[in-house]
Amino acid sequence: MGLPLMMERKSNNNNNNVVELSRVAVSDTHGEDSPYFAGWKAYDENPYDESHNPSGVIQMGLAENQVSFDLLESYLEKKNPEGSMWGSKGAPGFRENALFQDYHGLKSFRQAMASFMEQIRGGLASFDPDRIVLTAGATAANELLTFILADPNDALLVPTPYYPGFDRDLRWRTGVKIVPIHCDSSNHFQITTEALEEAYQTARDANIRVRGVLITNPSNPLGATVQKKVLEDLLDFCVRKNIHLVSDEIYSGSVFHGSEFTSVAEIVENIDDVTVRERVHIVYSLSKDLGLPGFRVGTIYSYNDHVVRTARRMSSFTLVSSQTQHMLASMLSDKEFTEKYIRINRERLRRRYETIVEGLKKAGIECLKGNAGLFCWMNLGFLLDKKTKDGELELWDVILKELKLNISPGSSCHCSEFGWFRVCFANMSEKTLEIALKRIHEFMDGRRRF
Amino acid sequence: MRLIVPLRGVVQGRGGLFVGSLIPCCLFYFLQLYLKRRRSPPDPPPSDSDLTELPRTSSRSNLFSRGNSIGRVRVSSRAVPVAKPADSPYYIGLERAKTDPYDRISNRDGIIQLGLAESTLCFDLLQRWMSENLIDSMMMKSDDGEFDVSSIAMYKPFEGLLELRVAFADFMSRIMGGNLSFDPSKMVVTAGGTPAIEVLAFCLADHGNAFLIPSPYYPGFDRDIKFRTGVELIPVHCRSSDNFTITVSALEQALNQARKRGSKVSGILFSNPSNPVGNILSRETLHDILRFAQEKNIHVISDEIFAGSVYGDKEFVSMAEVASSGEFDKSRVHIIYGLSKDLSIPGFRAGVIYSFHEDVVNAAKKLMRFSSVSVPVQRILISLLSDTRFIEEYMAAHRQRIRDKHVRFVDGLKQLGIPCAESGGGLYCWVDMSSLLTSYSEKGELELFEKLLSVAKINATPGTACYCIEPGWFRCCFTALADEDIPVIMERIRKLAESSRS
């Protein structure tokens, strides 16, 4: 796959009087010119709507969780009749919220986050609220950690396929590189020690210093949890190379069967040696599990005191408003509610997943066996004329223009095998999902006739 | 060539073949060693033992409980200075005041906080508005009157909802004199003024470039700009003789010195109303700055976060207005604004980048994914800022109350023989305590700072922290004080002054 190219600086000095911008401002590392985002544009121009635009583009490229809003709403109705909870217990609470801009974050909110994260892990790991650093979303958390763990031109190793946003989030302002750890379908895209060693060596050969490994568990775009043995081997590897391990667990609450998820926190829980513990950092957010991306609530949980202190100070660039913290603190610490929410949300996601996978199977399409997340990893390799990136993008374009479905091509996730696509299923109604499946069936039927 | 001749001599001698082959081998070996050392970046120290060689046990934890045989993992070099204990008196004072905060009922001997530029003077008005409007403003209700969480839960453009940018544009033109209209499409909403300034620094300057900044300046800029962008700040010293107003000749001098040092200056950053002095820059001065920037082909960043906190007689003019006059290339002008000071809601985290440069706006929009305002808070702000009747009432009261407090505070100091710089805006005054210094020097000033903190139990920010070139100046923020706190403060200062005279 190769290393990311050096960003080219656009010449903007054609005229002595035109004022210059920075490299960061003119670079295209934001990636918004890639196909991943082109599909979004097509959707924006012709969005599907059940009643008003039934032939529009169905957005299956956005990993958003809309299946459990009713649970949030009924909780709010019951516990918060006049909005008193969210109205900051009437007027007096407002004063604290309005002034509070401490980068430590509200203690009550951090406690609530810690408790919620523990619940998701079935109590198999404990979280210390003082190790929680709040950021305005997981995007900010990943960038912040990258600033702290790596210097410009250093690298993080990231297993492929990975979330396309990482190219931007981990590299743009930080100047840090991503070196891919190649995974393939022969073992369901699990990370192997050989692949880790190979990636590490690739970096060394290019004189790049590796500072850490960043994984997403459960994986985006695979929609599958990382096996416990793989996590242990990964931690071994990081210890051997003396590098960091970042685990983005943003989908941890979206694992269909809770027992199938092993968090890196569980492994660290049984380790006393601080020199091992302190290289582990977890990223979390409420955007996926709670379906609240608009709230911009993310967190870094680090076992490293230095990292916690540094992240806290740097979080002043990305604080969560105290009003938001206050609003969520009581809801997240209501164990009865969160237990019920986690359970029902998982169940609904599981059913959605089964619907889409079976629907695809009937159309002759296989998916990777998944057990988590808001999407499935679909294999259309057999439809490609040529098993190349161009071949894949041609098929993607057909799916976008003819089927009017925006899905994400594997190449935008740096997958080394062509023909895989990520398909989101939780950001729409069941009816819309059926329509999407119907379009796919018709398309496949059409192809079979030839 | 030169190498071969002596070698030939050696080779042709006795044992020559052996030596003749040994020398090149040695040279080759040393060459390889030299190249290897030069080429490879330092490895992080590897662990002493290879863990894969140990017998695997069923209990994983055994492998990791091997004591100190593994190297400690390191953070990046840019992270190292960030976690260091604060060395600036600005932060030290803030920390100390927090450990023993004054309370006029329960802790009358505590430290009075004059180091934080925040206002609580109009909280009563805000509280009333919030209790009446918060819930309705935050969540749209669906047709059956039920909460509709999806209206605030889902992803929205990171640069801020259009309605919010429209409301901000309207609010800003109201408080900045009404002669100017702001265009929502040039605006990006940020999670506070702090990310606004950092994002602009990332967009306008490369690592190692510099901004010129009139001093004394707000100490927080050091962190906001230097932490991650690598952009330098070059102070341009202003003097009490002209009330600390920036001059073009000072800018010129600073720029030339920077160039001589090999520093590339990308822009000028200044605050107006200025912090910590509180003076309002005249239209002429703004004009001069912009002309200077045009001549040198650099950017201008005007931090106007106190624009609504103007209480003096001098009219506030935004750099946006001067830029719009048509005389200069306005794409070099960028404004920072926010609600933390004028509307007293720093906890909400709402700031604005307003730029006349399309590419800067586009880059800033994309960077907002790292620092955006939560949607429910945006909805509250839309409602608040669009309530023009309330805003008019609030801003009038805000200005009036600051003016009254300012008068009391400055008069109190005057009675002690302590003068202040002339100011017309901001939440603080710039106080000349040089008469209390034991020595007219930075050392003397820091001693006074310490005495104020530990003896008088007052936290005021010393000029050194603001890079002021004249010793003895302190910034005192007075907008979180009740009227009855002021005599307490004056009494403490009086006692300190007396004891230092004796």
Where residue A320 sits, what CATH number does that domain have?
3.40.640.10
Distance from CA of A242 to the nearest CA of B (A): 6
- Angle, helix A107-120 to helix A322-333, in steps of 10 degrees: 40
A255 lies in the same domain as A306: yes
Q: What is the DSSP letter of A413?
A: G
Within 255-274 of A, beta carbons closer than 8 Å to B belong to 267, 270-273
Whether A450 is in a domain gets the answer no
Kindly state whether residues A323 and A255 are assigned to the same domain: yes
In angstroms, the CA A146 to CA A171 distance is 8
Residues B473, B477, B482, B484, Cα dihedral to 10°? -10
Q: Indicate if the pLDDT at residue A87 is higher than 70.
A: no
- Where do the H-state alpha helices sit in B308-441? 319-323, 358-367, 375-386, 388-415
Q: If DSSP codes are grouped into helix, strand and coil, which group holds residue B349? A: coil
Query: Which residues touch B470 (CB under 8 Å, ≥6 apart)?
Result: B239, B240, B434, B463
The tens digit of pLDDT for each residue in A105-138 reads: 899 999 999 999 999 999 999 999 999 999 999 9
Do A323 and A345 share a structural domain?
no
User: Do A433 and A318 share a domain, yes or no?
Assistant: no
Residue A435 lies in a domain: yes
User: Is the pLDDT reported for residue A98 higher than 90?
Assistant: no
Name the more confident of A8 and A391: A391
What is the least distance, in Å, from the CA of B125 to any CA of chain A? 11
Instruction: Supply the pLDDT for residue A141.
Output: 98
Residues of chain A with pLDDT > 70, as a percent, come to 91
All residues of chain B having their beta carbon less than 8 Å from the beta carbon of residue A94 are 126-127, 130-131, 134
- Asked whether residue A153 falls in the same domain as residue A298, the answer is yes
Interface test with B, best of A242, A244, A331 (most B CBs within 10 A): A242
Mean pLDDT, chain A, as a whole number? 90
pLDDT of B12 reads 52
A318 and A187 in a single domain? The answer is yes
Per the domain annotation, does A143 fall within a domain?
Answer: yes
pLDDT by residue (tens digit) across B238-290? 999 999 999 999 999 999 999 999 999 999 999 999 999 999 999 999 999 99
Specify the DSSP class assigned to residue B68: G
End-of-domain residue from the set A284, A314, A334: A334
CB of A235 closer than 8 Å to CB of A270: no
Do A244 and A146 lie in one domain? The reply is yes
- Number of domains making up chain A: 2
Cβ neighbours, 10 Å, residue A124 = 17
pLDDT at A426 over 70: yes
CATH class of the domain at B85-122+392-500: alpha beta
pLDDT at A450: 58
Tokens describing residue B201: 């620094």
Residues A298 and A213 in one domain: yes
Both A359 and A432 in one domain: the answer is yes
Q: Per the structure block, which two tokens stand in for B40? A: 């490879």
Cis preceding linkage at B376, omega within 30: no
At residue A276, the pLDDT reads: 96
- Enclosing domain of residue A411: 36-70+338-443
**Residue in B with minimal Cα distance to A24:** B203
pLDDT for the residue numbered B17: 57
Residue written as tokens 């656009």? A10
Q: What is the pLDDT of residue A90?
A: 45
How does residue B39 score in pLDDT terms, banded at 50, 70 and 90? Answer: very low
Give yes or no for A21 touching B (CB within 8 A).
Answer: yes
Element (H, E) at B197: helix B193-204
Distance CA B388, CA B381 (A): 12
CATH number at residue A45: 3.90.1150.10
Q: State yes or no: pLDDT of B452 exceeds 80.
A: yes
What is the rounded CA–CA span in Å between residue B272 and residue A92? 33
pTM for the whole thing?
0.89
Q: Among residues A295, A319, A334, which one ends one of the domains?
A: A334
- A161 CB contacts (<8 Å, ≥6 apart)? A183, A189, A221, A222, A377, A410, A413, A414, A415, A420
Residues of B in Cβ contact (< 8 Å) with A66: 150, 154
The domain boundary, picked from A334, A356, A387, lies at A334
Structure tokens at B248: 């073009």
Please list every residue in chain B whose beta carbon sits closer than 8 Å to the beta carbon of residue A11.
none
Residues of B classed as catalytic: 218, 303, 305, 341
In a domain, A26, yes or no: no
Q: Break chain A down into helix, strand, coil percent, rounded to 5.
A: 45, 15, 40
Predicted pLDDT at A73: 83
Q: Quick one: fold of B148-387?
A: Aspartate Aminotransferase; domain 2 (3.40.640)
Same domain, A346 and A324: no
- Say if A282 falls within a structural domain: yes
Residue B363 scores a pLDDT above 70: yes
**Same-domain status, A402 and A262:** no
Q: Is-contact A413 A423, C-beta < 8 A? A: no
| Whether the Cβ atoms of residue B429 and residue B478 lie closer than 8 Å to each other | yes
Position A10 in a domain:
no
- Where do the domains of chain B lie? 85-122+392-500, 148-387
| Pairs across A and B, CB distance < 8 A | 295
Is there a single domain that holds both residue A346 and residue A234? no
- Strand B299-303 vs strand B428-432: parallel, antiparallel, or unpaired? unpaired
Contact at CB, B61 and A272, closer than 8 angstroms = yes
Instruction: Tell me the average pLDDT across A35-48.
Output: 85
d(CA A321, CA A28): 30
| pLDDT of B134 | 82
Residue A70: closest C-alpha in chain B: B149
Beta bridge partners, A377, equal: A422
Using one digit for the tens of pLDDT, what is the confidence trace for A272-287? 999 999 999 999 999 9
Instruction: Tell me what pLDDT residue B20 has.
Output: 56
pLDDT digit string, tens, across residues A432-448: 999 999 999 999 998 87
Buried b (16+ CB within 10 A) or exposed e, B78-103: bbeebbeeeebbbbbbbebbeeeebe
Tell me what percent of the residues of chain B surpass a pLDDT of 90: 73
Flag whether A30 is in a domain: no
Residues of A taking part in catalysis: 163, 248, 250, 288
Residue A86 lies in a domain: no
Res. B67: pLDDT tops 70: no
Q: Are A179 and A157 in contact (CB under 8 A)?
A: yes
Kindly give, in sequence order, each residue whose CB lies less than 8 Å from that of residue A81, ignoring residues fewer than 6 positions away.
Answer: none
CA distances B212 to A23, B76, B237, Å, are: 20, 28, 10
Query: From the list B147, B206, B372, which residue is nearest A76 (CB)?
Result: B147
CA dist A299 and A129 (Å) reads 11
> How long is chain A?
450
Chain A residue numbers with beta carbons less than 8 Å from the beta carbon of B369 are: 137, 139-140, 169
> By the 8 A CB rule, do B203 and B242 touch?
no
